[in-house]
Each structure stands twice: as structure tokens, then as C-alpha cells.
Chains A and B, each alone.
Chain A
Amino acid sequence: MLKSKTFVKKTRSGGVMKIVREHYLRDDIWCGSEVCAECKQESAVLQRDACIESNLCTYPHYLIPDTNVVLHQIDVLEDPVIRNVIILQTVLQEVRHRSAPVYKRLKDIIHEKEKHFYTFTNEHHRDTFIEREPGESANDRNDRAIRVATKWYSQHLKTSESDAEGLKVVLLTNDQGNTQKAEESSLLVYKCEEYIKSLIANPELVDRLALSSDDKNEITSSKVLFPEHLPLSRIQAGIKSGSFLQGSFRASRDNYLEATVFVQGEGEDSTEVLIQGLQNLNRAVHQDVVAVQLLPRNQWVAPSAVVLQDEGTAKDDDAEEEEEEKALRISAAEAASKPTGKIVGIIKRSWRPYCGMLNASQIKESTRHLFTPADRRIPRIRIETRQSSTLAGQRIMVAIDGWPKHSRYPNGHFVRSLGSAGEKDTEQEVLLLEHDVPHQDFSQAVLSFLPKMPWAITPEDMVKREDLRHLTVCSVDPPGCTDIDDALHCRELDNGNLEVGVHIADVSHFIRPGNAMDKEAANRGTTVYLCGKRIDMVPELLSSNLCSLRSNVERMAFSCIWEMNDKAEILKTRFTKSVINSKASLTYAEAQMRIDDTTMNDDITQSLRGLNKLAKILKRQRIEKGALTLSSLEVRFHIDSETHDPIDLQTKELMETNSMVEEFMLLANISVAQKIYDEFPDCAMLRKHPAPPPSNYDILLKAAKSKNVEIHTDSAKALADSLDGAKVDGFPYFNTLLRILATRCMMQAVYFCSGMDSDFHHYGLASPIYTHFTSPIRRYADIIVHRLLAVAIAADSTYPDLMDKHKQSALANNLNYRHKMSQYAQRASVAFHTQLFFKSRGILNEAGYVLFVRKNAIIVLIPKFGLEGTVFFDTKDKAAPNLVFDEEGPTLKVEQHNFCIFDKVKVTISLDASNIQHQKIRMALIDPVIPGVSVPAPDVEPQAKKPKLDR
């Protein structure tokens, strides 16, 4: 039967178009139930004994949720208890229209066999299709369609109920009108909450219910706390006219009453608008797209230097709040004021489920609790749960449902538990989730593109590749490295010159453009290294075996071979796909030993010495050109092989061989960057490091000035030279500290597509052009560079996306994002392991240096552990000492003592586990002694030094 669907639509040019679609109705759409004898279905999805223990519905039944139930309660639907559900096409389409993520989750549930979810295409069924009636809104029509389909089901199952045990269908809806109409046509209908609460066997499901906004029993003072958000149409009009600005909301990590809105302007210029105070923040959550209105200029303020954390119990009375806000205001120095505004509306929420912990309410029987997210930028969320006693001490995920204007906190619901807090697996899961690191196992589709084992290089491969198996190639890596992506060789040529080769794993041979494995790798972007765990970008077979350039096996490589004279000048460069056979996989220490050991004279050692000699010259040349040597302390844990707990911690030491490998990698990267840029000026994937704006150096300049050292920041070269010259007598660590500070001033290096940008300069390396070529196993950018280079030397064919600068640019953005997140995840992992370490160590006394001075705290660096911590001077339970903060220094006067940057202090370090939410390293001052502020040095029993495990 043919029907037509007619609707009118506005066209882009402002016209109105009438669109008619043909709509075919069928009589061969089956009901999907095992009970039904009428329908000629092959395999029924819905079970005969569809029993969920419920004291509302004691009979077997199928559930039909309406659209809003699916949208809001998808977490409940995902629970394995909920089975035998009929998803109507009407519902599915509406869900798809309203929320893509929920649609995806719903589709996933439907595909899961055990869930017995059946999609009934009621819109195409002859008996359940309805047309919209005059005066009926689209929503009413859909509600009616759902009711008609439910009615059809209940009658259909009744007629075919020869032996069925009174199987019924139950409509779940939260809509009052819909409920009423359904009851009028004698359908079984329940509110979702009602039904879920009736599930006797599974009381924990109730917690996963999302609070619906029409729930009148909300926990709120009736007082309106926030101004109303403007409707979208007003916002759009305001943005068009320029009275509002659109931007992404970024909450401050340190101060919950402060945030910035990043407004992307036209072209390069973009501004940041400061938002201060709860009222002005107006319920925006980190990363939302918001509309801001600028305040008049006389109300502009400066970002405060106070560290404020939203702590304590639920504050519904905001007396305390006002005080804190006042504290904010005072700091507003006139001169440093920035554009300040207030949020007038939310354009797009980007809420996701957040990891964190429960703050159990102090009232024992209460079911309402606050949830503190792990990410400090996310406000605390109010949830309802009956399992608070079980959930306390666990890491849980919570989703926000809404934030009414009379509620201090957003309302949310419990999603799932990740495990108990403090456990390594749980914490790892948390930090992967929080940093958006894709860490699921590789799907079958991805694995299907792996080469079949046993794998060997075929003669056809050999024909296309240069045979370099005879060369004395070796690899130098950190100990325990299994994904070896680079190997080196050096030999003397007959003409007295040196031939140096850098051989990089040929990952692009295995990962072909566009297949599932390629897409997965492009999405992951990078391998993430956590302490004791690696989240691979490509499946392990490739990363640790087929691509890894292990010793004494034949491996495919992409080689970059130079001919150099003994002044390390490049005479000739060539690139080729090759087959190599590495003679040795060395660690940095082993390589160093060989070089230093004069008794060894084998080929490998000779080769290493040649490389080392050239590397030194290259490094000198590079530094002369103005490359920066910066410093950041990297920590290495000695991990117990059985418990996997950190047992010792030391800062990484660098050896000559580290820099030897690094030099050649840099050289290869620069050579390749030049080559691909020459060949593809529009679509080369490059990496740049922009020069920081002069204002970034303020803190460095001030700090250096306090020790009477002058730093020039006009150019990278000037900076490098003045850093080299910066020395203070009797303070050998000063230079390192200064370099650490300098590192903090730098910008992020980023990937970009050469056709989309004109500034290629790499500031830190002082190179006019740079890319990443040398680690394709762990970075996707390198794979793209490999492909480009392969096309450039006619070793491989190209494909459209590779030459599309917009697609390349989008890819570069994703890679930049993933890199940033992986770095954060890495840091978080180190921080967590540091905590574990200090937990086992108890209280320690250490010497450290003041790295930054804040208004109410100093930040102290402990060089021994590469650890940074904050010493607060105003604690809540104690009367604050007399604090005078001078921004010029910057110095902080506490009672009589003046703190400035680089001061040497002694602190106690302990793990503060009192707040299980955020375990943190607590530092307290011992020396200098300030009465009422510093603490007496605790006696620390010198722990028996544990034997070091390696070296």
C-alpha cells in the first residue's frame, strides 16, 4: 500500500519547499515474539518467558519505552536485567534525531543478542502506521503512533495466545498526557520510575535512573540561585548583532568560581573572556559552548591568584559562598583587569559521564549525595542512590541530567562503578577515561587486517626493496623497550666519507590506507605510555613483533641514508624502502659501555663510535644555531616485579647515547620534512613549534631578576645563550631550575598541514622545517609522513585523502588532541604512582626549591623526586597568618618571612589520604621556621635502603 508523506521545509536561500516522499506500507512485518504463531518470522528475538521480577507486573511482559524514556534512561536500559524490550521505529527515529550518542548506544543494545531488544518497524506496518491529523503536533502524533503500536501488540499477542501465559506489553512513559490517553484505550502503562522501583530483585537499578526535570521532589531550596538562560533564538540574534559572544567554556582548575570563555575570532585572533562568581558562571560546565555578554568596562576584573576548592558539605545556604566571592573581588587589581563577562545562555552542552567519587551525605538514611568528579573543573553533582555505603570508597561514573536554576549543583545519576579507589586498575581506568584515551581491545574488524602468521618477507617484497641485510645495523633504546622503531648504522666508504643510515620500521607497509586498522590507528593517534602499562596504537603483533626492528631477524624498514664527511656535513641524502637485519638491540647504557670500553673493537662498536662522533658535531651545530636545551624532570619508577608497586623512584639520567640517537632522529626528521614539503607543498604533514609571545616569559624574567641574572628572550638563540650563562655562586641547581621555568613558558608543538599554514618554524629545535618520521609504531603522524615519502620516491601509490589538505588538517587536529591528552594521562599516571610510593614510605623530610609564589601558597619542587607540591598558608581550620602578596616580585610575606622564587626550603612530604576523593601529596613547611605556620620536623626512621633491582 502506498502512502505519501508530505512536509514543508525551509530552504537555505530562505524559500519554502514542499517535499513529498513515498511511504510504502507492508503486511509482512513480524512481531518478533516467540509466542506468536501467526507471524512467519525465522528467528524470534523476544522470549516466550519474558520475566523480570516486578511487583507491578507479575506476568511475563514486553516493555515498550517511549522516546523520552530511551533518551533519559539509556543507562537503565543498558543494564543486563532489562530484557525483552520492543523499540518502535518511531522511537528509534526520534532518538536518532535528538541525540546521536544515545542512538549509538541504543543500536549497540539492539545488536546484543542477550538483551532481546526487538525493533518493530511500526511506521511501515499496515496496521500501525498513522497519519498526522490536523491540529496535532509532531510529538503528539508520535505518541499516538506509540500507543497505536502498543495497542496492536497487545491485541496481536492476545489472538496468538493459544498457549501463552498471559503475555502482555507494558508501555513505559513519563508523559502525563500520554499515560492518560493510554489508560483510556486500556493499555498497560507505567511511569519509568514506577516500573524500575517495582523490580524487587534489582534495587540497585533505581540509582541509575536519571532525574527527570519534572520531578517535583527535587532537593532544592525554592530560591532561584541562577539567572535564566536565554532561549536559543535570542542567543543567535545576539551573536549576530555582536552583543553576545560565542565561545567554549573552560573552567579553572584552581578556582571553582572562575573560568574563561575562549572566543574564536575570525582568522587568527581569538579572545578570552574572564568569568567570575557563581551567578556569572550561570551553570556552565567545562567545555560547554556558551554565549557570554561582556560586562561594562568598569566591572572588569583580573584573574585572581587564589586557589579555591569547592569543599565541605553541600552548601545550600550561600553565606559562605559570598565570603569566598568577596575574597575574589579584592584581588581585582585595576591594572591587570581583563575582559570580563557573564554567561547568558548555553548553546551546546558537552556533558559526558564523569569519573569521580561519592561524598556520602552526613545524614545516614539520606539517599541524596554529592558526587565529586576527579576533574576539578567539573562541578560537584548531586545524585540519588541507596547504595551509598557500597559506593563510598569506589570510583564511579556519573552522568549529569540537568541543572535547574534553583539548584546549587547539577543533578545527575549513577552510571557504573569502576572499582575501589586507590586500586591500580581502577585508577588507571579512571585516568584513561578522563583523558579520553581509547583503550578498548582492538576489534575483530581491526585484527582481521593483520598479516597471517607465520609471516616472512616474500621474494616479491625483496624485489621492491633494497637489500641492506649485510649492514651492521643496531638499535639503541631504553631498557625493556619492545616496540623498536628505529635502528642506525654507520660505515666508512671507500672515498673516506661516512655513510650513516637511519632505519625506521616500515609500518605503512602493514597498515594500508582506509581499512579498519588504519582508521583505528588514526583515531588513537598515538601510543600512550603509562607507568607499567602501554596502550598501543596498533595491535601488538605489529608493534612488538612484525614492525619492531628486533635483532637478528629480517625486518622491513624505511631507510634514510646520508653520505657525510667527517665534519658531519651532508653530501648526499637518499630514501629507500629496505630490508634490514639488526645485529644488536642495545640499551642506552649498553651502547655507552661499548663506546667507552676501549677493548671492544667489533663492527657494532665501531659503528657506534662513528655515530657518536658525528652526533656530537651535529649537536654543537644545532646549539650554535639557537636550539634550546630545556629541562623537565622525568621520573622513573622501579616497579616491583610481583606486586607491581613502585619501590623506588629516581629522576631519569641522560647519557651520551641518548643524545646520539636523538641527534640522528632529528636529522632524519628534518631531511624527510624537507623532502615531502618539496614534493607536496600543499599537503605535507609537518610539525611546528611557534615562538612564545613575549608575555609568556614574564615569570621567567622576574624570577631571574630576583637573583640578579638577566635573561634575553628576543630570540631562541639569545635565550639559549643567556640560559647557558645563568649561574649563581653556591647554587648549582639554579640553572636547572631556570630551565624548568623556561620550559613552562614554551608553547605546545603541533602537527599541521603545510597547505593550511605559512609559519613552519620549529622554535625549540631552531629548524625552519620539521616533521615526525621516526616513530611510526607509536605515532600516527609518522605513518602519514611515511606514506607521503613513499609516494615521493615512487615506492607506493597515493590515495585521495592523503592529498586533501582539509582532511589532512582535520587529522592533524585530532593527532594534536590525542597527543595532548596522552601527555596529561602520562602525567596523571606518574602522579598516581608517586602517591603510591609515598604511601609506602610514610613521612619524609626533603629539601626543595620554591618554583612559584601564589597569593596564598608556594609551589615547591623536590628535585630528588621531580615532585611538585603546594604548601598552603591559609588552612580552613586555622587562623590565617598575616599574608602579604607582592605581584611584582612575585613574593609572599608570611608573618615575618618573605618567600620568593628559588628559595630553598625544607618540607615534610606525606600522603594525605584523609580525603580519599583526591589523595594528594601534602607538603608542610619545616624550614624556615615560622611560628604558627611551619611544623616541627617529624622523626623519620631511615628506612633500610632496598636493594635496587636493575643496575
Chain B
Amino acid sequence: MATVQVSEAEKVYILHGIRDDLRVDGRGCEDYRHMEIETDVVSNTDGSAKVTLGHTAVLVGIKAEIGKPRPMVPNEGYLEFFVDCSANATPEFEGRGGEELGTELSNTLYKVFNNKHSVDLKSLCISAGEHCWVLYVDVLLLQCDGNLYDAISVAVKAALFSTKIPRVHISADDEGGKEIELSDDPYDCMRLNVENVPCIVTLCKVGHRHVVDATLQEKACSVASLIISVTHKGTVTCTRKVGGGSLDPESIFEMTEAGKRVGKALHAPLMKLLQQEESLGQKRQKVGFLG
């Protein structure tokens, strides 16, 4: 993971600031940095989104392919995650440097998103036990400036929102053989319901307090963070602790409460934004990567 060197004096400065609810860049403890979202940025995917959070930039692309349902859940589709830590993001990722982080991220994403409470996996089923849609979610880290989890989760949600899966029909002939038929209209697509898709809020324990959306410097002052996935109703669907330090039960409770609050507040404007973008339709001027 990208790290910065922070001197003792700087640490004290940051710690004291946070204690007084005043962060180096002027934010409060539960404030996010400036966030930019654009969907439908990669034309050869079925859904995509690019999110920048501060200087952190991630790109998520979703490809839908037809696969076989898992034997235990024959009437559900599933999601697969792959996180590519490109060396563009930070030189540390060069070679196989980003592999470990990538695996860790994709495992977490899998846990958070691949369950029927988050995504309506049943709608991904084409014919029970035989065909289902598999959504391959590919995450590309473009730049690392702290708080990867939150940025990625927002991007995944946005990408899922924009995903258009071609509608297919199963035609059964007299003998029971099944044939998948594609609609000939490219606009004839299935959309996913993303209402229950959670977002991840990472809370960083700095001193006795905790902050959301920690920068790299703040991260360097922290010993442990708590990753909480929260739905729009404020339900916590998953928590995970990362970092070497320990957290006492009381602060875990405090942090969870704060996470719920922040998460709920994050969902509403996000959905509003996505719908607004959608309503612009085809003629929207795309910003892309150079804008």
C-alpha cells in the first residue's frame, strides 16, 4: 500500500488537529473529500464508472457473460472481482508489487457485494441450473491517495447502476432442448436494482478519535481502521478491521455508529447524482479521462 513518510512533529500536529475536529485540509472528522463520478466511460463494457476522491482515482468496468450457476444456488447469478493495481497508481505496484493488495481488495469486495441482500442475484439467473449471468467486475486503480475502499465501493455501485445486460430469451423446442436467443435491439436491456447495494465507509482511528476518508498522512498516524459496509437504510452488512493496532469495544461501537451515519448520508446524494446523469441520456457530453 502506498505510504508516506511522516515525521513525529507532523504526526503530533495531525493528531492534535483531529482531536479538535480540525483536519489538515480543513475538513471535519466525518467529511469526505471532493468526489467526482462519471458512468459509462468505457464503451466496450456493459457498465462502467470512474470515481475520483481527492487524488485517488479508480475505474470500474463490468462485463456480463453467460456462465453456469453455482451448484448450491442454481437460481442465482454471481459476481467476480478482480482488482488491478496498475503501476501507474504508484511505483510500488510495479511487477507483482500490487498483487497482495489486489487480492485483499477483491476478497473484501466479494464479501461485500456478492450476496443476495446487496445485489438481486436472482435476476441474474437465465435458466435455473443451466445459465446465468456472471458479472465480472474489474477494478483498475489509477491513482492512490488513500481511502481506496470507499472510492472503489462507490465506483462499483455506480458501475452496477449503469450496467446494461442484453435481454435474452430462452426458447424451448418440442424436444426440450434450450436455445438462448438474443434480442436484436441493442436498447433492449435489463437494468440492475442497485437500491440495496452498500457503500463502504472506512473509519480510521487516529488517536482517540476516528476520521472518515483519511488521507495518506492521516493514515500514517493511524494504527487501525474499521471497514464498514452500509446500505442506504443504514444497515451494516459487513465490517472488517484492518491495520496492526487494536481497537477497544467501545470505540468499535462508536465507529460503527459513525459509519452508519456517514454511509446513510453518502447514499442519498450518490443516487441522486446517478439518476441525474442518466436522465441526460445519450447526448450527454462525456468527460472521460482527459477532461
Contact = CB atoms under 8 A, between A and B. Distances in A.
A241 B166 contact: no
A233 B180 CA distance: 13
Interface in A216-268: 233-234, 237, 240-241
A6 B66 CA distance: 19
A7 interface: yes
A15 interface: yes
Contacts of A10: 180, 182
Interface stretch (B9-17, B113-121, B167-175, B229-237): B167-175
A137 B184 contact: yes
B135 to A, nearest CB: 13
Interface string B212-232: 000000000000000000000
Nearest to A237: B173
B65 interface: yes
A237 B178 CA distance: 10
Most buried by B among A4, A134, A233: A134
Given A16-B166, A20-B43, A7 B177 contact: no
B175 A16 contact: no
A134 B46 CA distance: 16
Contacts of B46: 18
Interface string B56-75: 00000001111000000000
Nearest to A11: B66
A619 interface: no
A234 B44 CA distance: 34
Contact of B177 (A4, A19, A137, A240): A240
A116 B251 CA distance: 85
A241 to B, nearest CB: 5
B186 interface: yes
B182 to A, nearest CB: 5
A6 B65 CA distance: 16
B187 A134 contact: yes
Contacts of B64: 16
A135 to B, nearest CB: 7
A14 interface: yes
A138 B44 contact: no
B66 to A, nearest CB: 5
Contacts of A131: 282
A4 B184 contact: no
Given A15-B65, A15-B66, A16-B166, A6 B182 contact: no
Contacts of B66: 14-16
A14 B186 contact: no
Contacts of B182: 8-10, 16
A135 B180 CA distance: 21
A136 B282 CA distance: 15
A918 interface: no
B187 A132 contact: yes
A90 B233 CA distance: 52
A132 B186 contact: yes
Interface string A1-34: 0001011111000111011100000000000000
Nearest to A15: B66
Nearest to B187: A134
A7 B168 contact: no
B185 interface: yes
B175 A241 contact: yes
Nearest to A4: B43
A6 B43 contact: yes
Contact of A20 (B44, B175, B177, B180): B44
Main secondary structure of the interface of B (DSSP, over half): loop
B175 to A, nearest CB: 5
A132 B186 CA distance: 9
Contacts of A132: 186-187
A8 B166 contact: yes
B180 A14 contact: yes
Contacts of A14: 66, 180
Interface string B34-70: 0000000001111000000000000000011110000
Contacts of B174: 237, 241
Contacts of B187: 132-136
A8 B180 contact: no
Contacts of A136: 185, 187
A135 B188 CA distance: 8
B186 A7 contact: yes
Contact of B185 (A6, A15, A135, A240): A135
Contacts of A133: 187
A237 B44 contact: no
Interface in B146-178: 166, 168, 171, 173-175, 177
Interface string A132-157: 11111110000000000000000000
Nearest to A17: B65
Contacts of B168: 16
Contacts of A135: 185, 187
A240 B171 CA distance: 15
Contacts of B65: 15-16
B177 A8 contact: no
B44 to A, nearest CB: 4
B290 to A, nearest CB: 13
Interface string A754-768: 000000000000000
Contacts of B43: 4, 6, 20
B190 to A, nearest CB: 12
A134 B283 CA distance: 13
Contact of A137 (B63, B180, B185, B282): B185
A6 B64 CA distance: 15
Interface in A104-145: 131-138
Contacts of B45: 18
B175 A8 contact: no
Nearest to A240: B177
A375 B282 CA distance: 58
A7 B186 CA distance: 6
A7 B188 CA distance: 11
Contacts of B177: 237, 240-241
Interface string B74-117: 00000000000000000000000000000000000000000000
Contacts of A138: 184-185
Most buried by A among B46, B166, B175, B186: B186
B192 to A, nearest CB: 16
B72 to A, nearest CB: 23
Given A4-B43, A10-B182, A132-B186, A237 B166 contact: no
A3 to B, nearest CB: 10
22 contacts: A6-B44, A6-B186, A8-B186, A14-B180, A16-B64, A16-B166, A18-B44, A18-B63, A19-B44, A131-B282, A132-B187, A134-B185, A135-B187, A136-B187, A138-B184, A234-B173, A237-B174, A237-B177, A240-B175, A240-B177, A241-B173, A241-B177
Given A16-B180, A136-B187, A137-B184, 4 more contacts: A15-B66, A18-B63, A136-B185, A233-B171
Interface of B: 43-46, 63-66, 166, 168, 171, 173-175, 177, 180, 182, 184-187, 282
* A-B complex: 8 closest residue pairs judged by Cβ atoms: A237-B173, A134-B187, A20-B44, A8-B166, A241-B175, A20-B43, A15-B66, A4-B43
